[in-house]
Structures are given as structure tokens and as C-alpha cells.
Amino acid sequence: MSARYDELMALKSVGQKYAYTDRDVMLYAYGIGMGADPMDEKELGFVNEATYTERPLKVVPTFASVAAWGAGPGEMNLNRLLVVDGERDITFHRPMPVAANITADSSVVEVYDKGKDKGVVIRHQTILRDEAGEALATLLASRFARGDGGFGGPALEQPEPHKMPDRAPDRSVDISTRPDQALIYRLCGDRNPLHSDPEFAQKAGFPRPILHGMCTYGLTCRGVLQTYADYDAAAFKQHAVRFSSPVYPGETVTMDMWKDGNVISFEARVKARNVTVIKSGRTVLG
């Protein structure tokens, strides 16, 4: 077994402490584009706590992805310039509170060495817990490090992706993004200059800064929220995607959805460039 593989698999961090307030909850919702219409009461419920008639503020389910921003199993020593999100899968054990003190337990699940010059995929998970120690959400992520790999890890096959229905979509929605969307979303925690610095983006092989993959992930949550979930955040039990191509701020994302019982399958694309940006999407409602 490779020493580098063993080093990565041993990474673990337990009891990382975080806190957030309703400001963070509203900023995230705004960061994924909610509230663009100041008269849309359904979306205002996620971005506005100041109401004449009192109502509780709602939390977008995928806020869980930034509630403990920075939590992780430890330093992986990867080539940061060439690291991109591969997958994200969140299981929601209970709705996220509007404000909370939480802890995060993180560990590496598996490492897939694709070979020299082919990169490495690292899957890791983070469990968010409330002050009583009860699990709020389990975040499973994979990062694709294009500049690493070939260190002799075991030849393992990655899990099969969610199989998409073989029929026309049951529903499709267009979700627009703002030219400055990444500059807003980065205030939720991810300050990677790939999303804000033109020079950095060009060094990484992109013509201009790209939208955070996790912002696109939030957009797909919005798509399900506004269609099959009727804006009920508590209905979400799981939300998973595979990232296949970046979105550029200002583009319109078309989300195609298929409903089979309580499972919503989906993909997302940018029609203007004829590119699919999210594949094998799966939401479980309950």
C-alpha cells in the first residue's frame, strides 16, 4: 500500500466548533439567487426576517454545505490550482436551525488514484451536530485533484452514479444567475480566487472566474424547492449531484427534473453553450 494513500486515509478531525446566525442563513439564500423578486413572498421567507406579520425565517436545506465552512479531515497537500469539486451529497437528518452552535466531525472515506497525470479523487464526509450532539446533516463530498495522482493507491472503482430515467423530463425550469453571483456567494465562506480573480482563473485554464460548484449545487436545491417541494425545506431528506462542467456568472441554468415517487432525478445545463453542468442529480423528499 502507498504511504501517500495511508496518509490521506488517516486524516480525521472531530469536534470542530462553529456558530452561525440568521444573517448567515439569509446571505446564503441570497448568494444562490433567492429574493431577486422583492414581492415573491415564498422566496422572501428565506431572505427576510423583518416582517409586519410575524413568520419564522426559513433555512435553505443546502445551507448545511456552508454552516461549518472550512471543516474537513485535515490538510491534504494538494495542488490547489487544479482542485475542483467532483460530487456533493447531503443527507438531512433534521431541518437546520435558523441560528446555532454546531460541531463538525470529518474523515476521509476513500481515495481513488486515477494514475499519473490523471489526478486523484478523494471522498470525505462531515457530520454536523447540534449542541446536544444530535446529527443535523451528513455531508459527503469528493474533490478531484487534477494535479495529483499516480502515487500507487489501490485500484478501486468509484461508486456508480445515480441512474437517470429514460424519458423526457417531467418538468424544466430556467434559473438565471447574476454577473456578480460568485462575488456574492464567496461571502458565504469559499474565498477561492478561482471565482473572483481573472488572472487566477486564467492560470487554472478558464477564460474568466467561474461560479462556485457549491453555488450551482444550491441552485439545483432551489429548483426542487420551487417545484416539487413547494418551498418546504423540511421536506428534503437528501440532495446529491455530480459536477460535470462549470457555470459562468451571468449564465442561465436550465434544470430538467423527473419525479418517481419521493425521488426527484435531475440534470442541469447551460443551453447557451450546449453544456451539461450537473449530472446524476438526486433529491429524496419525505
Q: CA torsion 188→171→234→67, rounded to 10°?
A: -10
Half-sphere exposure of 125 (CA within 13 A, CB side): 9
Half-sphere exposure of 21 (CA within 13 A, CB side): 2
- Residue 126 pairs with which residues in a beta bridge? 106, 139
CA distance 177 to 210: 12
Which residue of the set 124, 190, 212, 239 is catalytic? 190
CA distance 147 to 2: 18
In the 8-state DSSP scheme, what is residue 167? S
Whether 195 sits among the annotated catalytic residues: the reply is yes
Which residue of the set 124, 195, 212, 239 is catalytic? 195
Whether 6 sits among the annotated catalytic residues: the reply is no
Beta pairing class for 120-129 and 83-92: unpaired
- Residue 11 pairs with which residues in a beta bridge? none
Q: Which of 214, 237, 212 is nearest to 224 (CA)?
A: 237
Secondary structure (3-state) at 235: helix
CA distance 38 to 56: 18
20, 119 contact by CB (below 8 A): no
Q: Which of 162, 155, 153, 208 is nearest to 183 (CA)?
A: 208
Amino acid letter for position 218:
G
Active site residues per annotation: 190, 195
